[in-house]
Chains A and B, each alone.
Chain A
Amino acid sequence: MSQTLNPAAFMNNPDTHSGVTNAKLGVWLFLASEIMLFATLFTSYIVLRMGATSWPWGWDVLNVPLATLNTVILISSSVTIVMAYAKAYDKNKSGFQGWMAATLALSFGFLVVKAFEYGAEFKLGIGPHTSVFYAIYFTMTGLHGIHILGGIAVNGGLLYMSSVKEHWENPLFLGRVEGAGLYWHFVDIVWIFLFPALYLL
């Protein structure tokens, strides 16, 4: 049997001659596609805003205090996941699990706050159909929310895997945590731009 057809042999393939693991390069290429996705959405936002005869202030039509709270939550979760990485690096399992659980709690907190925000808007009959502003607002924040859900699934999976000895002791586990962290920081960066663009400016 050819070695290239053996998945185990493929996983243990010698170095990539680049100094970057295949997994990390894969995560960065995925993030590159995500950057293009959000770049198109931000372009749509700019085009719609510049073409509109009037554009509302975020303070007048959106709940800025709740969005500020969500910004604080998301930045905090970026710190907790990088702390989880630090603990995984030190092979401190309980520390890793504690920080990763904190990341998950903050992620759910973000979604709960967002649900309150959406709920208040829906109660007033406001939806994507209301205006161009709300259409782009719901599209961008909704897609970002879906990315949060994806992050919760990955981070939850890693938290579970850390409780299984075979996974925790796998030399590739730290790389997986780093990959999940890269994705989560990217989601944070998207919000860093969404927050002023939609709510403040």
Chain B
Amino acid sequence: MSNNKDARRDEHRPDVGLYVKVFAALMVLTMITVAISKFHLPRPQAIALGLFVAVIKASLVGALFMHLWGENKLIHRTLFIVAGGAAILILPLIDCVMISHRITSPADVASQHPHEGGHAATHEEK
């Protein structure tokens, strides 16, 4: 019985007007995402902008549709731990890939071994 009372206390009062506004915002943001990709921006800028819009969309869904805005602190703490775990999982791996990408890129090899590059150029000039 107590759990039933708990359930009643734990429910979120729906706000239909807000849901409609969020839906409209999500549609507009989807169109913006597609438009960004149509502009053929340089890839780093396109990725940064696209992910920025995706984060806004996900935040709207999470905060207002999933009622994370005003949710119990226990849920917030759980998600915080998960986000930390995901960061521990992802960030070092991405860092390793970026380091290996830098090490093996032609520009980096040339800057790390200027003598070899210069030597090659001398040969080519000859």
Contacts and interface: CB of A to CB of B under 8 A. Distances in A.
A43 B6 CA distance: 39
A75 B94 contact: no
A161 interface: no
A7 to B, nearest CB: 13
Contacts of B69: none
Nearest to A14: B2
A193 B6 contact: no
Given A89-B11, A200-B50, A21 B66 contact: no
A11 B3 contact: yes
Nearest to A11: B3
B97 A51 contact: yes
Interface in B1-60: 1-14, 16, 19-20, 22-23, 26-27, 30, 33-34, 36-37, 43, 46-47, 50-51, 53-54, 57-58
Contacts of B89: 36, 39-40, 43
A11 B6 CA distance: 12
A64 B4 contact: no
A185 interface: yes
B64 to A, nearest CB: 9
Contacts of A89: 11, 13-14
A195 B32 CA distance: 13
Interface residues of A, number: 61
Contacts of B37: 58-59, 64, 196, 199-201
A200 B33 contact: yes
B25 to A, nearest CB: 10
Contact of B90 (A13, A42, A83): A42
B83 to A, nearest CB: 8
Contacts, number: 162
Given A15-B3, A36-B82, A174-B11, A200 B16 contact: no
Given A29-B78, A32-B78, A174-B7, A196 B33 contact: yes
B79 A32 contact: yes
Contacts of A199: 37
B72 A75 contact: no
Nearest to A79: B23
Interface of B: 1-14, 16, 19-20, 22-23, 26-27, 30, 33-34, 36-37, 43, 46-47, 50-51, 53-54, 57-58, 61-62, 65-66, 72, 74-75, 78-79, 81-82, 85-86, 89-90, 93-94, 97-98, 100-101
20 contacts: A13-B3, A28-B78, A28-B79, A35-B86, A36-B89, A39-B90, A40-B89, A42-B90, A46-B94, A68-B34, A78-B26, A79-B20, A174-B7, A181-B66, A192-B61, A195-B54, A196-B33, A200-B33, A201-B43, A201-B50
